[in-house]
Structure 1
Amino acid sequence: MTDTPVTEPAEFWESRYRDSGRVWSGKPNETLVREVSALRPGTALDLGCGEGGDAIWLASRGWRVTGADISRTALARAAAHARDEGVADRVTLERHELGVTFPEGTFDLVSAHYLQSPVALDQDGVLSSAADAVAPGGTLLIVMHAAWPNWQTEPPFDAEFPTLDGVLDALALPVGEWTVLTRERVRRASVSPEGEPGHRDDHVWRIRRSG
């Protein structure tokens, strides 16, 4: 009998976390640290927060953070990590299947790292909702993989990587209301599961809303 691939987003991501130990390092994404360190702390929304590395780093710097993820297991790990780091009072965690439900309110920072999925995800719709959730004077930070790692000789699934202009075109942000502060391709170290050193390129957009 052949196993049927899991294609429902909730099942896929819950299985990804439930069937393994900690998936991520617990450290914040490099681009978040680079792009946000100079910002004045306020309220933040971390979309696809996973096990909470970014949310907890933001909270440790004085932000009040709402983290949203589809996996209950990931959220439970994020909550435990926040308690361990003494920032649980500044981190609110909510379960959302982005593209179907979305956190309420507006935020001084909306961070969307790697909203790329091998199962169904309305990426353009989620990013549009992310822009709508940015408060006047706030910041939208988007980070996407630009290509497979250089050591990935056989991609595990077909993927269409967004371009720098493509994401901005899809967002169609009102002229005069937003300022693009960062729009660039960056390279970072990436180690294969076998320990082979390499690199991976990402695309980064930091956009400020007027107000």
Structure 2
Amino acid sequence: MIYFRLLRLMTRWPTLVREYSMLREGGGDVVFNHLSVSKKAYAVLDELKYINDDWEHVIDDQDLLRSAPSYRPNDPLPLMFEVKDTMAALAICHYAMFSIIVCRILLSLQIMSCETGETVQLQAGIVNQCHRIWMLIDHSLCHKPLGLPVMQGALILTFETAVDDDLNMKRYILDALNELDAYRVLAKGPWKENQVVYIARSLRGECPFG
């Protein structure tokens, strides 16, 4: 039921991205659109917080995920998620992806309106959700290709944070993408930084797809 609530909330993603993209392009009444998009994005963020609170209780009560020491020698994080339920990992991944997109849209809107009131909180939220995704890398690599089929998209959305935060993590993400996406690598070559950043920006309406 909680996962269904999340997926239903994620149906707002295309509309939010489209309106944000139009705002960036200067379409319509800029003041009205800015207020409208900000209000919608914050409403989504509030609902995400309620979903997260409910989901955390379920995870703890049923022991669906737990933090455990990383066993891969090149892991940049000391802890990874030990996954007891794949559906729980999938829900965490979807939640983190959507949260990152919404927070980055709100950060951009604050910059556009010369506001900085919640910049620190939004940035902290992005970093927190990126770490949740990164803690699922071991599980994804050990159970590819079916362990966590959305992991490539999730990692792409964390890449800009890794660039700002840790060059080792940036390299690690690219390596994980190449390992998870072996068929694409065979056809098109390894993932490159500019490709990853472009797709991440496209997913939040800052670049055209294609």
TM-score (norm 1): 0.28
Q: Which has the higher contact order (CA 8 A, sep 6+)?
A: 2
Higher strand share: 1
So what's the TM-score if we normalise by structure 2?
A: 0.28
